[in-house]
Homo-oligomer: A and B are copies of this chain.
């Protein structure tokens, strides 16, 4: 099995490193292929190439969109392309974006980034190896990078 890891030089924290560490803990013997591009708008084709040229079974796409309106637009364009790349290949690409304005300061931002990267690395491994397991958590308010919201209590 092969997991593709696409990330950017634009991001201010190396989420891919945390994700790779987490993958190694949960999926022994899985081959990891890493591909770094300048920014989030370069991610869709990078992810597609990891699937079509590097034969990855699943891909993770890491990005840190900035705080400005233009950054939000870039993130939206990247996300649209990432969904399109999945539809063209019938392969999951787990998007792991942390917006720079999600946290109050740099330390909290790095914390969110590490937690989200690790949580989604576990999701990617599960989706690749034991997809039926996620149904146990269906509708239970899971979050990545923050505490779970939890299910609605009736």
Query: Nearest 7 A-B pairs (CB), nearest first?
Result: A14-B139, A45-B86, A81-B83, A12-B141, A9-B142, A36-B134, A9-B137
Q: Please state if A42 and B94 are interface contacts (CB–CB under 8 Å).
A: yes
With A12-B141, A77-B79 given, name 18 new contacts (CB 8 A). A9-B134, A12-B140, A12-B151, A16-B139, A17-B138, A35-B131, A35-B135, A36-B137, A38-B94, A38-B127, A38-B134, A41-B83, A45-B92, A48-B90, A64-B139, A77-B80, A85-B87, A107-B154
In-complex Cβ contact of A76 among B17, B73, B143 (8 A)? B73
Q: Give, as a whole number of angstroms, the nearest-CB distance from A89 to chain B.
A: 8
Q: Please state if B83 and A151 are interface contacts (CB–CB under 8 Å).
A: no
Fill in one digit per residue for A42-63: 1 if any B CB lies within 8 Å of its CB, else 0. Answer: 1011101100110000000000
Q: Give, as a whole number of angstroms, the nearest-CB distance from A116 to chain B.
A: 11
Chain A residues within 8 Å of B, Cβ to Cβ: 7-17, 34-38, 41-42, 44-46, 48-49, 52-53, 64, 70, 72-74, 76-88, 90-95, 99, 106-107, 109-110, 120, 123, 127, 131, 134-135, 137-144, 149-154
Docked complex Cα distance between A144 and B137 (Å): 25
Q: Please state if A44 and B86 are interface contacts (CB–CB under 8 Å).
A: yes
Q: Please state if B152 and A109 are interface contacts (CB–CB under 8 Å).
A: yes
Tell me which residues across on chain B come within 8 A of A53, comparing CB atoms. Answer: 90
Tell me which residues across on chain B come within 8 A of A149, comparing CB atoms. Answer: 12
**Closest chain B residue to A84 by CB distance?**
B87
